Amino acid sequence: MNNEKINRRDFLKELGFTAGATALFASFPWISGFAEDNQKAIAKEKLRIGVIGTGDRGRFLLNFLVRNPKADVVWLCDNYQPWLELGQQIAPNAKTCADYRQVIDDPTVEAIVIATPLYTHHEIAIAAMEAGKHLFCEKSMAKTLDDTLDMYQTHKRTNHVFFVDQQRLYDPVYLKAIEMIRSGMFGEIQGINTFWNRNGDWRRPVPSPELERKINWRLYKEYSCGLMTELACHQIQVGTWIWRELPERIYGQGGITFWKDGREVEDNVGVMYTYKDGKRLTFSSIISNAFYGLEEQIMGNLGTIEPEVGKYYFEKTPPMPGLLQMINNIEKEIYSTVSFAGPSWDPEIAKQNHGEYIIGKKRDFLDGTGFTVDAFVDAAIAGKQPPMIAEESYYATVLSLLGQQSIEEKREIFFPEEYRIDYL
């Protein structure tokens, strides 16, 4: 199973709900659009969507949209012709243009998807929201704190559906992990270590030199905030989600330590977010070593959870292998056996602590992007903004930008009150 095939029913199944999901929706109200009743109500509807930005990410989103029977992609827009043509291969019936205003000015378009470079998000998003469109915007929301706040406030005022692609909010592994954390399985969460390491120059091929800044916009400060807004934004959100509070202080450092190729954004960053009572979330990213890859290590006094690997580990002796899987199955009312090591307690096995899978098996789908896109389509058709989505996304961007600010200004930053919204 992968993102291409997994559907709403599979999504609920991954979370252990094969029928009805009242408890799930109570815990995670923003996914209530997947409820049977809500689905029936919109089953025959179709949402007319314009996709602005058909680069790599835009086409990734487009692939989910064209498979959704409730989505009708009517416009594709990009000011770089090769990408527009690639987009057309996915949605051949859509009209095309290079100017986003043409899409927004079309009164039959109900929703806009923005997958353009970061520095353009604010302008397009405000135009879309003011034109009464529902909006799905790639993360991060915007390049500056003021623009981010403006987008959020415009959303609240215009009152249309607004999603940002914070896909962890719709990732079954993360939802299950948060449920486990809230059940107290891992004790009090004391710290979260997040990292996203790669080994590559983060460049896209450029057919001719004058296109360098256009295509590799992520590397230049005029257009991008680099690793913080492109990568950290996802992981920082996990801290807000778990602790339900904002950090008091932010301190970051970074530099260009390896890819000295004319780029302006850092290729090596580390930021510490300190919460009340000293709890910390750290983010670090090095893009010249991929060994440790990507993870969020969520550490409680009783155990650790690693949602990217999809596993959790107890601090002390782990449970009988398979017992947690059996409990998972009992929850789903499935009969299963459990096998255990056999002879008396085996300290060597206990020490190895290979952990248990969060959803009872290895992750066999990519992430929550497909579900996020589907949820947006459902919400836009229903005209109902799910709780927390805009707010979690807002703070994810704000915290990323504050991290970047701290790196650039080489100082500790206290969370600025003027960017606090009525959430948390």
Partner 1 sequence: MVEQISHTFKRTLSGAGIYYGWFEAMHSRFDLLAIGIEEELGTTLCHKVAEETLRLEKRLNRFDEESDIWQINHLDNYDRYAADPELLAIFSEALRYREMTGGAFDIAVQTPDYRIETPCFTVDVPCESIVKLRPDAIADFGGFGKGYALETARRIVVGAGVSSALLSFGNSSVCGIGLHPSGKKWQIGVENPMHRGTTMNLFDLQNESLSSSGNLPYNRGHIRSTRTGEPIETNQIVSVVSPSSTECEVLSTALFAADAEQQQTILNNFPHLQATGMDFSTSGYTVHKL
- Which residues make up the interface to partner 1 (CB under 8 A)? 17-20, 23, 180, 183-185, 187, 302, 316-321, 323, 326-327, 330-335, 337-350
Peptide bond into 406 cis (omega under 30): no
Residues pairing with 72 in the sheet: 48
Residues 6+ apart with CB under 8 A from 158: 129, 130, 132
As a whole number of angstroms, the distance between CA 352 and CA 416 comes to: 44
Nearer to partner 1, 44 or 316 (CB): 316
> In angstroms, what is the minimal distance from the CB of 162 to partner 1?
34
Q: Which amino acid, 372? A: T
As a whole number of angstroms, the longest Cα–Cα distance in the chain is 73
**Angle between the N-to-C axes of helices 233-243 and 389-409, in degrees from 0 to 180, rounded to the nearest 10:** 120
Nearer to partner 1, 20 or 416 (CB): 20
Nearer to partner 1, 242 or 402 (CB): 242
End-to-end CA distance of the chain: 36
> In angstroms, what is the minimal distance from the CB of 325 to partner 1?
12
> In angstroms, what is the minimal distance from the CB of 258 to partner 1?
40
> In angstroms, what is the minimal distance from the CB of 147 to partner 1?
43
> In angstroms, what is the minimal distance from the CB of 94 to partner 1?
42
Q: What are phi and psi for residue 149, nearest 5 degrees?
A: -65, -40
Selection from 340, 335, 333 nearest residue 319 by Cα:
340
As a whole number of angstroms, the distance between CA 19 and CA 16 comes to: 9
Do residues 101 and 109 touch, judged by C-beta distance below 8 A? no
Nearer to partner 1, 101 or 182 (CB): 182
Kindly list the distances between the CA atom of residue 156 and the CA atoms of 126, 152, 161, in Å, as whole numbers in the listed order.
Answer: 12, 6, 9
Tokens standing for 196? 């996203």
Nearer to partner 1, 104 or 177 (CB): 177
Residues 6+ apart with CB under 8 A from 67: 4
Helices (H), 183-303: 212-215, 227, 233-243
> In angstroms, what is the minimal distance from the CB of 26 to partner 1?
12
> In angstroms, what is the minimal distance from the CB of 342 to partner 1?
4
> In angstroms, what is the minimal distance from the CB of 239 to partner 1?
23
As a whole number of angstroms, the distance between CA 4 and CA 6 comes to: 6
Do residues 218 and 246 touch, judged by C-beta distance below 8 A? no
> In angstroms, what is the minimal distance from the CB of 21 to partner 1?
10
Tokens standing for 268? 């090596």
Do residues 240 and 392 touch, judged by C-beta distance below 8 A? yes
Kindly list the distances between the CA atom of residue 354 and the CA atoms of 252, 336, 357, in Å, as whole numbers in the listed order.
Answer: 33, 21, 10
> In angstroms, what is the minimal distance from the CB of 194 to partner 1?
25
Nearer to partner 1, 119 or 186 (CB): 186
Nearer to partner 1, 22 or 199 (CB): 22
Nearer to partner 1, 21 or 127 (CB): 21
Buried b vs exposed e over 160-173: b needs ≥16 C-beta within 10 Å?
Answer: bbbbbbbbbbbbbb
Residues pairing with 304 in the sheet: 299, 313
Q: Indicate the SS3 state at residue 202.
A: coil
Nearer to partner 1, 16 or 58 (CB): 16
Nearer to partner 1, 206 or 327 (CB): 327
Nearer to partner 1, 319 or 383 (CB): 319
> In angstroms, what is the minimal distance from the CB of 388 to partner 1?
23
Strands (DSSP E) along 256-293, which ranges?
268-274, 280-286
